[in-house]
A and B are shown apart, each in its own frame.
Chain A
């Protein structure tokens, strides 16, 4: 069986990425850090095994935030256009996340859950029947 290869990158095109296979999970993350950095209600992220994510062009900037675990989450973004691309949590070294809109075609990802909804801002619209987790749910 051949594996899906998804290409993606930032808005300006300086950084390109490739992702192999299907995501382990896809989430809208409403944590305060994701809100602040994206400028949105939640970051839309898909989790993959770390070895399935490759930067094929350019060099993203990195900025560490502190996850709830107390360990660092390294966030990679394009220094030219600000597009967030990849997140690597020290607490889970086997896993990395990509932002879903960085993919050229993200239509293989359908309905996704909402995490850290405890932190959702007053102006956030989450449908009533959406899958919600107040914090981070266990993976798998």
Chain B
């Protein structure tokens, strides 16, 4: 079976990426940092193993925020057009996030979950039947200390 191969990039085309396979999960993140940096109700991301995400063109800029874990999230964007492209959470080295709109075709992604809904603002309404988590759901939490 050949695995899915998805291309993507920023609005102006200076940065291009390639993603292999299906995402581990896809979510709208409503945390305050994601709201601020996107200019939107929530960032829309898909999680992939880092080895499945490749930068094929350009040198994007990086901006680092602090996640709830206290560890860093490195957010990659195009310095020319401002498009957000990827995120690398240090707390979860097994995942890289890719902004869904960065993909040329994201139509293979359907239902998503909403996370950090505790932070939803007065101007955001999500469907009542949407799957939602007030914080980060356990199944994407880091499994640090598992052996101790």
Q: How far is the CA of A41 from the CA of B10 in the complex (A)?
A: 15
Of listed A28, A38, A79, A112, residue having the most chain B CB within 10 A: A38
Q: How many of chain B's residues have a CB under 8 angstroms from any CB in A?
A: 49
Known: A101-B35, A101-B40. A39 touches B112 (CB 8 A): no
Q: How far is the CA of A83 from the CA of B82 in the complex (A)?
A: 8
The answer to whether A40 has its CB under 8 Å from any CB of chain B is: yes
The answer to whether B109 has its CB under 8 Å from any CB of chain A is: yes
Contact across chains for B123 and A81 when beta carbons are under 8 A apart: no
The answer to whether B143 has its CB under 8 Å from any CB of chain A is: no
Known: A63-B82, A82-B84, A127-B128. A122 touches B36 (CB 8 A): no
Known: A101-B36, A128-B127. A82 touches B75 (CB 8 A): yes
Known: A37-B83, A82-B82. A123 touches B110 (CB 8 A): yes
- Can you offer 26 A-B residue contacts whose CB atoms are under 8 A? A11-B36, A12-B63, A36-B11, A36-B83, A37-B82, A39-B45, A39-B99, A39-B102, A43-B39, A45-B39, A61-B82, A63-B82, A75-B82, A81-B63, A82-B75, A84-B38, A101-B36, A101-B39, A107-B121, A107-B122, A111-B123, A111-B125, A112-B123, A123-B109, A125-B114, A127-B127
The residues in B between 114 and 148 inclusive whose CB is less than 8 angstroms from any CB of A are 114, 121-128, 130
Q: How far is the CA of A99 from the CA of B41 in the complex (A)?
A: 10
The binding surface of chain B is classed by DSSP as: loop
Nearest CB of B to A76, in Å: 9
Interface residues of A (CB under 8 A from B): 10-12, 26, 28, 33, 35-45, 61, 63, 65, 75, 77, 79-85, 99-102, 106-112, 121-123, 125-128, 130
Contact across chains for B84 and A41 when beta carbons are under 8 A apart: no
Interface residues of B (CB under 8 A from A): 10-12, 26, 28, 33, 35-45, 61, 63, 65, 75, 77, 79-85, 99-102, 106-107, 109-112, 114, 121-128, 130
Q: Which residues of B contact A11 (CB under 8 A)?
A: 33, 36-37, 63, 65
| Contact among B79, B83, B110 for A39, CB-based, below 8 A | B83
Contact across chains for A40 and B38 when beta carbons are under 8 A apart: yes
Nearest CB of A to B10, in Å: 7
Query: In the complex, what residue of chain A is closest to B82 when comparing beta carbons?
Result: A77
Q: How far is the CA of A63 from the CA of B79 in the complex (A)?
A: 10
Known: A37-B82, A43-B40. A123 touches B111 (CB 8 A): yes
| Contact among B81, B110, B128 for A37, CB-based, below 8 A | B81
Contact across chains for B63 and A42 when beta carbons are under 8 A apart: no
Contact across chains for B127 and A106 when beta carbons are under 8 A apart: no
Known: A33-B11, A81-B63. A38 touches B84 (CB 8 A): yes
